Structures are given as C-alpha cells and as structure tokens.
Amino acid sequence: MKITIDGHEVVTEQDFHRQLAEALGVQDFYGYNLDALWDLLSASVERPLVLVWNDHDCSRGNIPHEFDGIIEVLERVKQQDESFGWEDKFSYILD
C-alpha cells in the first residue's frame, strides 16, 4: 500500500496525523500523537507500506520541531522492519 501526505496541508502536527489517519482509515481509534504514530506504524498496519510525504519542505518550514519528531518515528519503524528482516516492510519517501 502507498499513502501520500500533502506537505502544503501540514501547518500543524495535527494536520499530519489527520492526513495519515484518513489515508489508513483509522480515524476512530488513532491517538493523533507521536506515541500513537509509533504504535500504528510499528505493529498495526499491513505491510508493505510506503508513506510518501510530498512537499515535505513546506511542512518542515511550518512545524520544524514536530517535523523532526515525526521523522524520528518514521525512521525507527523503518529500522525495526529492516532489523526483523521482513520482505514486506514500512518505508517512507520525502519528496
């Protein structure tokens, strides 16, 4: 599965979480924070999953500290899947 985040629409951290939850259809139970992001991506979504963050520089400009926190979680999930040796894994692309 491939999901896309529109960086022009990420003005707050909540905008990122909202787009992600909608793309994955988890709005009813997603926690909309970094802990929930880890829980969701590390164990609760089907793989393979590619998250494409279009115009990420726009988001980085709007929420620099929060952007770094989100990327840290995305990278941890990616590294976890790689360490497990899974063929179907999570990855992300900053576009």
Across 64-84, average pLDDT: 98
**Number of structural domains the chain divides into:** 1
CATH number at residue 44: 3.30.370.10
Structural domain harbouring 31: 1-60
In a domain, 19, yes or no: yes
- 56 in any annotated domain: yes
Is 76 among the domain residues?
Answer: no
According to the 3-state scheme, what is the secondary structure of the chain?
CEEEEEHHHCCCHHHHHHHHHHHHCCCCCCCCCHHHHHHHHHHHCCCCEEEEEECHHHHHHHCHHHHHHHHHHHHHHHHHHHHHCCCCCEEEEEC
State the pTM of this model.
Answer: 0.96
pLDDT at 32: 98
Q: What is the pLDDT of residues 1-50, one digit of tens each?
A: 999 999 999 999 999 999 999 999 999 999 999 999 999 999 999 999 99
